[in-house]
Amino acid sequence: MSQREKALSDTAQLTVDGKSIELPVYTDTEGGRAIDVSELYSKHRYITYDPSLGSTGICRSAVTYIDGDKGVLRYRGIPIEQFDRPKPNFIEVAWMLIFGHLPTAAEMSEFRGMLTQYELLHEGLTHQMHYIPPKAPPMVVLSSMISMMACYYEEFLMPPDEQSFMMQAAELISKVRTIAAFTYRRNSGLPFIYPDPSLRYCENFLHMMFSIPYRQYEVLPEIEDALNLILILHADHEQNCSASAVRVVGSAKANLFASISAGVNALWGPLHGGANVKVMQMLESIYNGGKKPQECIEAAKDKSNPFRLYGFGHRVYKNYDPRAKILKSACDRVFAKLKTSDPLLEIARELEGLALEDPYFIERKLYPNVDFYSGIILRAMGIPTDMFTVMFAIGRLPGWIAQWKEQYDNPSTRIIRPRQIYTGAPLNDYKPVDER
């Protein structure tokens, strides 16, 4: 923050212990207000307390904007709804998130060339996959493989310049798709199908997932479009749990592979990206005669029961998640094109209807989030449930890279190191074991 920006800002007065402290107040591009407490400790020896960081901005960011009360999501200023069109393109969105503007035709062509160039895994890395236990959760395989990329692509461990960063971003975006498909093939006991350089990003992924030797999988344009849309809708979501994990690790000047691997692990949690698996398990259990929809609603409301209505609620959205709205209508489109249906979609609609009329959900402003409908489309594509969070990770990768780069490029970035309120024992003495 420049001195000029600081001078233009308002101030807030904090009165504590009989002292008055003046704190800068900033206004963001969309009118959001923030009180700057960054020097509260160094100058005044107070810390702030916000355990889940719900009222704390950890950075200035120009990547993504969310208005949770209104249900607004924009990438680099563009409303998310504008990507819900025929032939959406995940790669141009990825490039835009990372480099700040929609790519020109030349930039797209250069980046696509890199994606094709990097689509193969080093054979050593491929072999290493076989040493991971056969039924390992796919998110473990993904995070380990990304960590291990640091052993095979050492050239990217140097501090990146703009060109090498673009190459590393392309390495990750391209290879993560190959790793994901290989993970599925390996866990299913199927031979690896290598990427085909003549195919587009999503088409190539579906080919590696579903072709078998001597029988090429035919990619339906509707399925390719739906996959593009799903990846775009997951591409970034500002300072969410996994993006923050990437930033925390990156703030220690850890390399991009290590930081992204941390993001994958954070995403795995069932309160974050892992919720898409939980949603599907919940819908399947209802379908298979387990709980009835109303019983799920009651269980989710019961505070003595750890069960939650997965795919519902969000830290930031206190309105319908715009991504869920798009996915809900995309479900109808996909099934209409495929001329099929899925009983789980009916169950999901029924659950949503019950929740949205229930005072518990209304009072707490709990609406469907991105995970509620995404799994139903992924299932229609033939993607197994245990791969859902990996699909989320492929989509979120550009966002993690963009957040990492933004932080890396900012010369005022310091290591992220929060403080605590100490609640432990007061000063006391060590006792040798025979005196205890």
Q: Which stretch binds ligand ACO (CB under 6 A): 57-65, 221-229, 309-317, 336-344?
A: 309-317
Output 148 or 391, the one with its CB closest to ligand ACO: 391
* Choice from 230, 370, 381, 402 touching ligand ACO (CB under 6 A): 370
Catalytic residue ranges = 314, 371
* Choice from 165, 184, 268, 312 touching ligand ACO (CB under 6 A): 312
Output 175 or 247, the one with its CB closest to ligand ACO: 247
Q: Which stretch binds ligand ACO (CB under 6 A): 39-47, 224-232, 284-292, 361-369?
A: 361-369
Query: What's the rounded Cα separation, in Å, for the pair 373 and 30?
Result: 29
The closest alpha carbon to 170, from 114, 222, 251, 123, belongs to 114
202 binds ligand ACO (CB under 6 A): no
For every residue of 22-55, DSSP letters joined together read EEEEEE-TTS-EEE--TTHHHHH------TT-TT
Q: C-alpha 419: how far from its chain's center?
A: 26
Output 204 or 369, the one with its CB closest to ligand ACO: 369
Q: Which stretch binds ligand ACO (CB under 6 A): 98-106, 124-132, 303-311, 379-387?
A: 303-311
Query: What's the rounded Cα separation, in Å, for the pair 387 and 206?
Result: 13
Q: Which stretch binds ligand ACO (CB under 6 A): 113-121, 198-206, 305-313, 415-423?
A: 305-313
Which residue's Cβ lies closest to ligand ACO?
Answer: 313
325 binds ligand ACO (CB under 6 A): no
Q: From residue 81, give the alpha-carbon distance in Å to each of 90, 133, 240, 321.
A: 14, 41, 20, 12
How crowded is residue 214: how many other Cβ atoms within 10 Å of its Cβ? Answer: 5
Q: From residue 13, give the alpha-carbon distance in Å to each of 4, 6, 22, 88, 322.
A: 20, 16, 5, 48, 37
* Choice from 315, 333, 337, 349 touching ligand ACO (CB under 6 A): 315
Q: Cβ(226)–Cβ(334) under 8 Å?
A: yes
Q: Which stretch binds ligand ACO (CB under 6 A): 161-169, 193-201, 252-260, 368-376?
A: 368-376
Least gap, CB of 15 to ligand ACO (angstroms):
29
Helices 201-210 & 221-233, crossing angle to 10 degrees?
110
Least gap, CB of 310 to ligand ACO (angstroms):
5
Query: What's the rounded Cα separation, in Å, for the pair 375 and 207?
Result: 20
The closest alpha carbon to 198, from 119, 126, 121, belongs to 119
Query: What's the rounded Cα separation, in Å, for the pair 318 and 295?
Result: 24
Binding mask 261-290 toward ligand ACO (x if CB under 6 A, else -) reads ----------xxx-x---------------
323 binds ligand ACO (CB under 6 A): no
* Choice from 309, 324, 347, 393 touching ligand ACO (CB under 6 A): 309
For residue 109, report the phi and psi dihedrals to the nearest 5 degrees.
-65, -40
Q: Cβ(263)–Cβ(243) under 8 Å?
A: yes
* Choice from 175, 177, 247, 308 touching ligand ACO (CB under 6 A): 308
Q: Cβ(373)–Cβ(329) under 8 Å?
A: no
Least gap, CB of 124 to ligand ACO (angstroms):
33
Residues found in the chain: 436
Count of residues near ligand ACO by CB under 6 A: 18
* Choice from 357, 364, 382, 410 touching ligand ACO (CB under 6 A): 364
Least gap, CB of 315 to ligand ACO (angstroms):
4
- Interaction site with ligand ACO (CB under 6 A): 271-273, 275, 300, 308-315, 364, 366, 369-371
